């Protein structure tokens, strides 16, 4: 799980890098919205969850300190993927700077909801086949992040 957490950190950092370059003042607070299937209470109360054990530490090492220059808002579909559009829509209305979306159906809902907000995907098997990116070498659009080849490999084994 530490490797997964680090990879998500790097993807969010890459998504925030252009925003930092455009920053007018040091007072900017970037809003990061995380959407996933795990209930928010479980994420917040679990110190071993990657967004607690690795995310904040890695963001600090890159100069991002929660509540000083970025705010992290957790959202959950709580195991109900039919809520993806609703929850993504909430973050779009809040005009967050980055959406971290887990897994593929949530990424798809984010892709359909916005072309302006940066989206960091995670838990996606083949982002090219799903239409999230044009290619791995040149993703284009507003989506970046991590793919999990294991998802694709295991689907072919069954």
pLDDT tens column, 117-144: 999 998 888 999 999 999 988 999 999 9
pLDDT tens column, 23-61: 444 468 999 999 988 888 888 788 787 767 777 778 888
Question: Dihedral through CA 69, CA 71, CA 109, CA 145, nearest 10?
Answer: 50
pTM exceeds cut of 0.85? no
Residue ranges of the domains in the chain?
A: 2-157
CATH T-level fold of 2-157 = Rossmann fold (3.40.50)
Asked if 91 and 85 touch (Cβ cutoff 8 Å), the reply is no
């Amino acid at each position: 799980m530490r490797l997964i957490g680090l990879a998500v950190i790097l993807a969010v950092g890459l998504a925030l890098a252009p925003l930092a370059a455009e920053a007018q003042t040091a007072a900017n607070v970037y809003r990061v919205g995380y959407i996933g299937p795990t209930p928010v209470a479980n994420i917040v109360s679990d110190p071993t969850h990657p967004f607690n054990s690795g995310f904040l530490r890695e963001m600090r090492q890159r100069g991002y300190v929660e509540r000083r220059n970025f705010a992290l808002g957790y959202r959950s579909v709580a195991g109900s993927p039919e809520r993806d559009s609703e929850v993504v829509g909430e973050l779009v209305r809040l005009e967050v700077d980055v959406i971290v979306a887990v897994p593929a159906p949530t990424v798809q809902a984010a892709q359909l909801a916005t072309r302006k907000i940066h989206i960091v995907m995670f838990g996606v098997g083949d982002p090219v086949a799903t239409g999230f990116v044009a290619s791995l070498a040149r993703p284009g659009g507003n989506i970046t992040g991590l793919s999990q080849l294991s998802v694709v490999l295991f689907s072919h084994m069954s």
